[in-house]
Amino acid sequence: MKKATKITVAAILILGVATSVYAYGAHHHWNMSPEEKAEFVTDRIINKLELDANQQQGLHDLAGTLIDIMDDARANHDEHRDLVQRLISAPTLDQAQALEMIRQKTQLINEKAPQAIASLAGFLDSLNEDQKTKLGEFAGRRMEHHYRH
């Protein structure tokens, strides 16, 4: 596989796993914690792909990494929500403050992306071709389902 293809697949899979966790949480079991949602998704992937113990550990590591990143992103959620409300309610938009808030979120993503890609690579590299094919088909179906809504 070419490097560009690997990066594209990695980005799609990270987005797919994160979207799956979010979508499941948004549409089912409102009272589940992010950890419980991640456990549900990882159990489903483990069963569908018939992962061995080493692959399961890699998937759990990936899920843990994504949960940590999501926790960091949500750390100041209430403050950001209040700030957005103030920005919207103000007579004029404070563009500098809005840009700073976006810059902070972008910086967080840029800082955490290498860790997420490394964790994803560790999991994907442990899969055999059949498992990668199944995972790609699953991600494709999830993306198609997402676009229909």
What's the pLDDT score for residue 23?
62
Per-residue pLDDT reduced to its tens digit, 58-76: 999 999 998 988 888 888 7
| Calpha distance 124→136 (Å, rounded) | 11
How many structural domains comprise the chain?
1
In the DSSP assignment, the letter for residue 76 is T
| Distances, alpha carbon 2 to alpha carbons 6, 35, 94, in Å | 6, 34, 44
Domain assignment of residue 77, given as a range: 3-148
Total count of residues recorded for the chain: 149
What's the pLDDT score for residue 27?
52
- For tokens 């979207």, the residue is 19
| Calpha distance 10→142 (Å, rounded) | 15
